[in-house]
Amino acid sequence: MTRRSDLLLDPHHHASDLPKGIKLLHDPLLNKGTAFSQAERDSLGIHGLLPPRLFTQDEQVTRVMENVRRKPNNLEKYIYMIGLQDRNETLFYRVLVENLAELMPIIYTPTVGQACMEYGEIFRRARGLFITKYDRGHIREIMRNWPNEDVRMIVVTDGERILGLGDLGANGMGIPVGKLSLYTGCAGIHPAYTLPITLDVGTNNETLRNDPLYIGLQEPRLRGPEYDALIEEFIEAATEVFPRAVVQLEDFGNSNAFRLLTKYRDQVCLFDDDIQGTAAVVVAGLFSAMRITGGTFADHRFLFVGAGQANLGAGELLVLAMVSQGMSEKEARERCWFVDSTGLMVSSRTDLSAQKRPFAHEAPFLKTPLEAVEFVKPTALIGAAGQAKMFPEAVIRAMGKLNDRPIIFALSNPTSNSECSAEEAYTYTEGRAIFASGSPFPPFTYNGKTFVPGQGNNSYIFPGVGLGLIASNATRVPEEMFLVAAQTLAKEVAQEDLDLGRIYPPLNRVRDVSAKIAEAVANIAYRDGLTADKKPADLAEHIKNIMFQPVYQDYV
């Protein structure tokens, strides 16, 4: 009997192996809708189950985009696209790949944040696996309920820190679903390889717990040894049932994210995109900015506003980047300063976590970002505080006074949480800022010059990293992989991008960029013996050949 995964991954489907009739039309990875040929309709038992006119995939794409564009708001566009994904994944990804710049803000940030907040209201059809604390002792059996046997990429969340929106519990499933859509759309990882998982351990969001439409456990969030035991069983089950899978941790709370990454990163093929993927996209943006400002990291000072997973991860990777340029670790850390929710992180403070303490320096305690800017005199200001307007006019003007080309990254998602807008950054620095944001901002014209803001989106990094891990069958994910991913991304920024103020390549190039990142990541796996596979003679061609192309196959 042909395994479902083998069937889905075979580029030459055989009619004798396919499900027949309505069952075929209800399989989103095999369904072609109105594009089934007459011969296919006859041989597969679907004659009469579809309208008689045959449409090409190009014509279907046109219909989809016309429908998307007539929707009244982005949430309705999201609902429509998720519905298409549930019906016809090949068409969904064809539409996504060809319209990435337009649809990524719908499929992922910022719209996915609103979708998660309203997940109970817009829920149509379950995707992925939901595992609860009551499933202890049975997680392996639950994972074997998943229909595809050869899973290679798992994105898992416990819903505690969804974007900048906080604890959304089981409603956070929208994030793993959206993230895996980008793995396929941005890097060509076959959708049959992907599995979104939510660990529903309750929620401390009382509004959700009292919501009659909430889809998760209406209980307080699980903590302590019981939580750790659930995670332990999940990791063991995932690696046993899907031995070639990469596990990506997503949107765990600060209290768990760092310690889970530290505990498991040397045991299984696992990484945390909020910590490491964000770090790589930040460092890539800084590498690109250096091409505008000149000099090296040794000529710069960096002030991070926000000391959660994103910025602490970025600080650690930036230190690694500076060390790779010949600096000592001590010197590198001295160039990185942080403001957390209390104020400047200084060595006299006794309230700093283990992750924060390496970035605490001898200095007076200062409470506000403006005071910190005036004291540290940074060349780069990097915000990931999850709180809107942390860079008010006074802070931006101070950066402009200190620097000819101030680097200002406002990375918090969604757009409503951005530290400042592109318009504010350019206006208050007289058009001199090198700006990037987490969610997209439109082009802005100042004094006759049009700037195209770069979006420091993790989708430039994690899809390529995942593709490289899968292509090489890597068993671990060392930090150096994220450094080479950042360096590779920065090299893909053309001079014409920099001339527009854009420090990341345009999104329509992301699949090519992901392939190059995958090659760099896989090379580390082969070099360091992190795989039992032999390196292909032409690694770039190998990666290209395994990338999923969203075009229909002939079934007869």
**Catalytic residue positions, numbered:** 108, 179
Q: 353: phi > 0 → left, psi -120 to 50 → alpha, else beta; which?
A: beta
DSSP 334-360: HTEEEE-SSSB-BTT-S---TTTGGG-
Backbone φ and ψ for 222, nearest 5 degrees, come out as -70, 140
Contacts of 499 (CB under 8 A, 6+ apart): none
- C-alpha distances out from residue 433 to 179, 252, 369, 402, 465, Å: 30, 33, 18, 12, 30
Rounded distance between C-alpha atoms, residue 460 and residue 99, angstroms: 16
**Residue type at 109?**
T
How far apart CA 221 and CA 212 sit, in angstroms, is 18
Which CA distances in Å does 236 have to 218, 224, 250, 464? 27, 19, 18, 25
Q: Where are the beta strands (DSSP E) in 400-459?
A: 407-410, 434-437, 444-446, 449-451, 454-455
**DSSP character string of 131-175:** EEGGGTT-HHHHHTTSS-S---EEEEE-SSS-TTS---GGGGGHH
Element (H, E) at 249: strand 246-249
Sheet containing strand 380-383, strands side by side: 336-339, 302-305, 380-383, 407-410, 434-437, 454-455
Rounded Cα distance between 202 and 199, Å, is: 9
* Cβ atoms of residues 542 and 471 within 8 Å: yes
Side-chain-side CA neighbours of 365 within 13 Å: the count stands at 11
Matching residue, tokens 């940074």? 378
CB neighbour list of residue 405: distance below 8 Å, 6 or more residues apart: 289, 292, 293, 432, 433, 434
Q: What is the 3-state secondary structure (H, E, C) of 366-379?
A: CCCHHHHHHHHCCC
CA distance 495 to 409: 20
Q: Where are the beta strands (DSSP E) in 251-334?
A: 270-272, 302-305
Per DSSP, the three-state class of 46 is coil
